[in-house]
Amino acid sequence: MAEITFEDVKKVYGEDVVAIQDMNLDIPDGEFVVFVGPSGCGKSTALRMVAGLEDITDGKLFIGDEVVNDVPPRERDIAMVFQNYALYPHMNVRENMAFALKLRKVDSDEIDRRVNDAAKILGLENFLNRKPVALSGGQRQRVALGRAIVRDPKAFLMDEPLSNLDAKLRVQMRTEIAKLHNRIGVTTIYVTHDQTEAMTMADRIVLLKDGIVQQIAPPQEMYEYPNNVFVAGFIGSPAMNFVKGHLEKDNGNIVAAFGEARVPLSREKLENVDLDPYINNDVVVGIRPENIEDAEVVENPEGTTPITVEPQVIESMGNEKYVYFELSQAEKAHMESLAEEEAEVGGEDDDAGELLVARVSPETVAREGKEVRLLIDSSKVHLFDPETEEAILQ
Amino acid sequence: MAAATSSGSGNLWRSVAFYAFIAFFLLVALFPLLWVFKMSIITRAEIFASPPTILPNTLTGTSYETIFSDARFQRAILNSVIVAGVTTVICLFLGSIAAYAIARLRFRFKSPFLTLILAIAFFPPVAIIAPLFVQFSQAGIINTYASLIIPDVVFALPLTVWLLVAFFKELPFDLEEAAKVDGATTLQAFWKVIVPLSAPGVFTTAILTFIFAWNEFLFANTFAFDISVQPVTVVIPQFATIYTVDYGAQAAAAVVVTIPLVILVLIFQRRIVSGLTAGAVKG
Ligand SMILES: Nc1ncnc2c1ncn2[C@@H]1O[C@H](COP(=O)(O)OP(=O)(O)OP(=O)(O)O)[C@@H](O)[C@H]1O
Ligand SMILES: [Mg+2]
């Protein structure tokens, strides 16, 4: 077990494809860190540099106290789980798991003991003599994990290990990996593009975009205090709503105005921020769907801001409903950093891109096409600079 | 077999037509072989009968007795095995190293390089036979195994490289990386993971190379003067006296030299078609 440190690590492919830009990160011994970000942001590259499968263009990478920039993979003593498992097809499950130990000339009794232990932990006892081709996706995934845990390595690296599994199995394996980590406590770097996986599994999340680290924080902190528009939009589902707003002073209160809505900003939040440059200027207002509720089901409307909207689509999730609406006279803010994401998501429903969404109680009285009053939780409103997209009020 | 899955009398006709076509195709493809086989088991009189018989009337083993009692033929088979075998080994050794590099490394001018290799394969052998004859004579290797093996390797190697590149490219890259992370050196990764996995591809290539060299006639007929090096392709036409050609013996010899190839393919067919790499990744 060991800590892993990135010190100004940079990766350039070929002449000018910058995959990772000056990355700094300290992973203490035993931490479970998740690298998350959209496709092509450099997550795999960062992970593969730790594994030694990709050389480091600039900066230093430490495993323990040792700079490993020039240490080949086999001497780094780390285990990796690949997205498509990379099991050796000509070896059975036992041989797959024993391969690394054999290469290290561990004696055969010890190999048997460790393989059997790992098989027990992962429920693979009955499959030890099967070839990978005769296993289901979930079982293959477990063998890939088993191959990593028999080794007792300094660190685990996992590159989207669950993305080939179906939704249900994914959730199940997610828990199993978390349990495994609690049990053996090895430093782990886990790569995924799924924010739910990041939120549920991570001790800390490292959010990347275009090779640049956007924020490093524990899941809850990243959810509550996103650094910028990109982080705010990436973490949370459905994604945060962004509208163009205007900051005004009103009887000593600062209010964020958009459309008919005027959201007074809570004083506690304002204590350590200087909003003066933004007064009477444009801002981007960010509101999470879960911070908008149907007025009818709210018992105490104190600290909320009402808006009246006409729902266009209502989706029922069973335990909650998603209400999609347009906000009259307010414009949805189209953030550059989110443009690609929206393009991907927007594919299913062109309108959804233009609509705001509220995540309300299933008891809501909202009906499609009928006006309804919604309440925004004023204390949960985020403000961003429209130019830099940095958070001004988290 | 879409024809066989649906029911009804219309479909019956379709499946009859389907199998009739397959039978016809097989007949056309196999006709030369069947005809040669027939010639090898009938009497000399029947070979010359006019009109020719479709099915053999008289069965005889004389032709096979002739060739197997002929020391020349036995020697020729040995020569063929040596020439084709050595050619195959050399081609596979050089070819697999080259192909692995081409498949796995990134370097400039890769595709022009591959095209150039292919161009060599299309070069007409007849065009270089005279200069080669002079050079081999001067080098003192004319009428040795080397004078057959060298041109065979030159013309078979492009084929070998192309086939192996295709096979190596199919292998999942991840496996090699997994092996390295598991603690293997590059050489260990190659021997313990890549080689076992590429076995089907290597076998296929080996067989095709062997067949190529086994069937070679032009160089053999020019560079090999006597029975100490002449392979079967050169010796078969020699089953003749000044007055007559022994067609029966030639046919029998042709059958005999085809059998090793058929056996090779049958033995390795399962390895060739078995998708050994299946299951490495989600398939
Ligand atoms: N071998 C390579 N040569 C050149 N560019 C590369 C190479 N590998 C990756 N890249 C580029 O580097 C960037 C980061 O790639 P990387 O594979 O790390 O992305 P990722 O975050 O893992 O994406 P995904 O979620 O799609 O796996 C991408 O823009 C990619 O095109
Ligand atoms: Mg990736």
* Chain mean position to CA A319: 23
Start-to-end C-alpha separation, chain B: 23
Let me know: does A229 contact A218? Beta carbons within 8 Å.
no
Q: Concatenated DSSP letters for B47-67?
A: HT-SSPPSS-SS---HHHHHH
Which residue's CA lies nearest to atom 17 of ligand 1?
A44
In a domain, B53, yes or no: no
Residue B142 belongs to a domain: yes
The answer on B26 and B113 residing in a single domain is no
Token pair belonging to B76: 């020729």
In this predicted structure, what is the pLDDT of residue A21? 94
Helical packing angle, B195-215 and B71-104, nearest 10°: 140
Q: Which residues of B touch A (CB under 8 A)?
A: 172, 174-175, 177-185, 188, 192-193, 196-197, 276-282
Residues A321 and A227 in one domain: no
State pLDDT tens for residues B242-283: 677 788 888 999 998 888 788 877 877 666 555 444 444 433
Distance CA B24, CA B5 (A): 22
Q: Which of A193, A176, A185 is nearest to A156 (CA)?
A: A185
Atom number in ligand 1 closest to CA A37: 21
Tokens of A46: 């960062």
CB contact under 8 A, B281 and A84: yes
Q: Are residues B8 and B143 in the same domain?
A: no
- Looking at the complex, report in whole angstroms how far the Cα of residue B271 sits from the nearest Cα belonging to chain A: 13
Placement of tokens 């550059």 in the chain:
A336
Asked, for residue A270, whether it belongs to a domain, the answer is: yes
A177 and A277 co-located in one domain:
no
Tallying the residues shown for chain B, one arrives at 283
Contact between B124 and B83 (Cβ < 8 Å): no
Whether residues B112 and B12 fall in one domain:
no
Which residue do the tokens 């509720």 mark? A293
φ, ψ (nearest 5 deg) of residue B265? -65, -40
Co-location of A262 and A226 in the same domain? no
Q: Least CA distance to A50: which residue of chain B? A: B181
- From residue B7, alpha-carbon distances to A52, A170, A383, B15 in Å are 59, 42, 68, 10
Distance from the CA of A214 to the center of ligand 1, in angstroms? 17
> What is the CA(B37)–ligand 2 centre distance, in A?
59
Q: Is the Cβ–Cβ distance between A330 and A356 less than 8 Å?
A: no
B55-66 as b/e, with b when 16 or more CB fall inside 10 Å? eeeeeeebbbeb
Please check whether residues A250 and A123 belong to one and the same domain.
no
Tell me what the mean pLDDT of segment B5-17 comes to: 76
Same domain, A226 and A279: no
**What residues does A23 pair with on adjacent strands?**
A9
Residue A122 domain-assigned? yes
Q: What is the mean pLDDT of each run of 10 residues along chain A (394 residues)?
A: 92 92 95 95 95 94 94 93 90 94 93 93 91 90 92 93 86 90 93 94 96 96 95 93 90 86 82 84 94 91 90 93 84 70 47 78 92 93 92 85
Give the residue, out of A45, A80, A214, with the most ligand 1 atoms within 8 A of its beta carbon, to mutate for a pocket test: A45
Angle at B127 between CA B123 and CA B129, to 5 degrees: 110
Residue finishing a domain among A180, A199, A234: A234
User: Does B276 sit within 8 Å of A85, measured CB to CB?
Assistant: no
A394 in any annotated domain: no
Q: Are A168 and A306 found together in one domain?
A: no
H or E segment to which residue A73 belongs: none
How many angstroms separate the CA atoms of A205 and A201, rounded?
Answer: 9
Q: Give the tokens for residue A314.
A: 């209502």
Between CA A105 and CA A103 the distance in angstroms is: 5
Sheet containing A78-81: order of strands: A78-81, A155-159, A187-192, A32-36, A204-209, A212-217
| Dist. CA B178–CA B181, nearest whole Å | 5
Distance from C-alpha of A189 to C-alpha of A33, rounded to nearest angstrom: 5
Range of the domain at A138: 4-234
Euclidean distance between CA atoms A287 and B175, whole angstroms: 46
- Residues B201, B79 within the same domain: yes
Same domain, A256 and A161: no
Establish if A366 belongs to a structural domain: yes
| A–B interface: beta-carbon pairs under 8 A | 81
A131: CATH: 3.40.50.300
Domain termination residue (choose one: A210, A234, A258): A234
Residue with tokens 């007025």: A295
Q: Which of A176, A203, A234 is the last residue of a domain?
A: A234
Can you give the pLDDT at residue A313? 93
Domain count, chain A: 2
Q: Do A73 and B181 touch (CB under 8 A)?
A: yes
Q: Which structural domain, as residue segments, surrounds residue B101?
A: 66-276
Q: Are residues B141 and B256 in the same domain?
A: yes
**Into how many domains does chain B fold?**
2
User: Can you tell me the ipTM of this complex?
Assistant: 0.81
| CB atoms closer than 10 angstroms to residue A107 | 8
For residue A23, count other CB atoms closer than 10 A to its CB.
24
CATH number of the domain within which A276 lies:
2.40.50.140
- Shortest Cα–Cα distance, A27 to chain B (Å): 20
- Confidence band (pLDDT; 50, 70, 90) for B241? low
Quick check: A6 and A178 in contact, CB under 8 A? no
Within this chain, do residues A214 and A253 fall inside the same structural domain, yes or no? Answer: no
Please name which of B125, B123, B121 lies closest in space to residue B158, comparing C-alpha atoms. Answer: B121
Whether A126 contacts A71, CB under 8 Å: no
Q: Is residue A253 part of a domain?
A: yes
Asked if residue B183 has pLDDT above 80, the reply is yes
In a domain? residue A52: yes
Of A80, A89, A99, the CB nearest to B197: A89
Domain assignment present for B207: yes
CA-derived radius of gyration, chain B: 24
Using the predicted structure, report yes or no on whether residue B67 has a pLDDT greater than 70. Answer: yes
In a domain? residue B45: no
A63 and A193 co-located in one domain: yes
**Whether residue A87 is found in the same domain as residue A169:** yes
Distance of alpha carbon B2 from the chain centroid: 33
* pLDDT higher at B11 or A155: A155
Substitution target from B182, B187, B193, B197 for chain A, most A beta carbons within 10 A: B182
pLDDT at B273: 55
Shared-domain flag, residues B132 and B21:
no
What is residue B240's DSSP assignment? B
Nearest to A184 by CA among A77, A29, A59, A296: A29
Domain CATH number, residue B94: 1.10.3720.10
* d(C-alpha B66, C-alpha A294), whole Å: 101
For B26-52, what is the mean pLDDT? 88
Domain check: are A17 and A160 in the same one?
yes
Does residue B71 register a pLDDT over 90?
no
Kind of pairing between the strands at A261-264 and A253-258: antiparallel
What pLDDT does B179 receive? 94
Among candidates A237, A208, A206, which has minimal Cα distance to A345? A237
Give φ, ψ of A304 to 5 degrees: -120, 165
Q: Do A36 and A95 fall into the same domain?
A: yes
Residue A334 Cα to ligand 1 midpoint, Å, equals: 26
Q: Which H/E stretch holds residue A393?
A: strand A391-393
Asked whether the beta carbons of A378 and A305 are under 8 A apart, the reply is: yes
- Tell me, yes or no, whether A393 lies in a domain: no
Q: Is residue A250 part of a domain?
A: yes
pLDDT class for B3, splitting at 50, 70, 90? very low
Judged by CB atoms within 8 Å, which residues 73-102 of A form the interface with B? 73-74, 76, 78-80, 82, 84-90, 99-100
Alpha helices for chain B (secondary structure H):
2-5, 9-40, 44-47, 62-68, 71-104, 110-122, 126-139, 145-170, 173-181, 186-189, 195-215, 218-223, 232-235, 247-273
| CA-based nearest distance B41→chain A, Å | 46
Q: Which ligand is nearest to the CA of A43?
A: 1
Tell me whether residue B57 is in a domain.
Answer: no
Determine the residue of A44, A47, A209 to mutate for testing ligand 1's pocket, defined as the one with the most ligand atoms within 8 A of the Cβ atom. Answer: A44
